[in-house]
Structure 1
Amino acid sequence: MEGGRVPEYANGAPGMDHSHYGGVPPGSGPPGLGGPRPVKRRGTANRKERRRTQSINSAFAELRECIPNVPADTKLSKIKTLRLATSYIAYLMDLLAKDDQNGEAEAFKAEIKKTDVKEEKRKKELNEILKSTVSSNDKKTKGRTGWPQHVWALELKQ
């Protein structure tokens, strides 16, 4: 309690008798010691958190739209969305690797800039993560949303 300020707590409702208030409800003491300011700050923090949550949710909605073969009425959790997206990315990377072996993807690759050592290492680590994700997704999952993983896993094996 430096400078005579009372700490603000997110769950300390106005008028509550907490031990750190000394039995005096916030806002009823001397001016500047817990008046309407904590409520205003809490409201601002709540607005920021709502905006952050909405931003994350809209990003997940956009990501869900990029995942093919998922019926519109299928609800995907955030973790399932991330897992399906990584599986799909792994499938696309494998598809590109196969095209590269056939020499058909040269025009596409020409537009890709040269990567540095750090980026190569990061890509290799991502590849390993994606490969382990695909292999761990081979096991049956519960629920009605697990099927696309198996579709992509079968595509990868061909």
Structure 2
Amino acid sequence: MTTAVRAATATDVPRILELVHALATYERAADQVEATEEDFARALFPGDGHPATFAHVAEVDGQVVGIAVWFLTFSTWTGSNGIWLEDLFVDPSHRGTGLGRDLLAALARECVERGLPRLEWWVLAWNAPSIAFYDSLGAAPQDEWTTYRMSGEALVSLGTSD
């Protein structure tokens, strides 16, 4: 079995979206994925300008079985960018093989090579296996913050108010 982690290419987009759907199912939110292949292609490989979203994939024998989708953040406290890991997912049949660690290591290398001081992400509070995995790597939970989200009617209302 040959494994590899690499930056995603445009030909990976259909498989990336399949794995996003698998992640949504795992996270009990299968009905919430609205993204299309076109959305991912536009975000990861825009025809004009530079991408604002990036992805790495994990392969086994040439088949993509894992993804790390990420983007750059900015901290006013450090005065520098960091990486926000939006989604990390490895197909259940390939978990425990080190591919999740390899994907995170690829992002850690991006941070080190670019001089970025932070790699951050969310994990669902009920996802004990992932929490244990992240703890084993030395990641530290940041539980003093509360996440807020504005979308739908509230977003439109605020965005169109005077």
Quick check: which one's strand share is greater? Answer: 2
TM over 0.5: no
Instruction: Give the alignment's TM-score, normalised by structure 2.
Output: 0.25
Quick check: which one's helix share is greater? Answer: 1
Larger Rg: 1
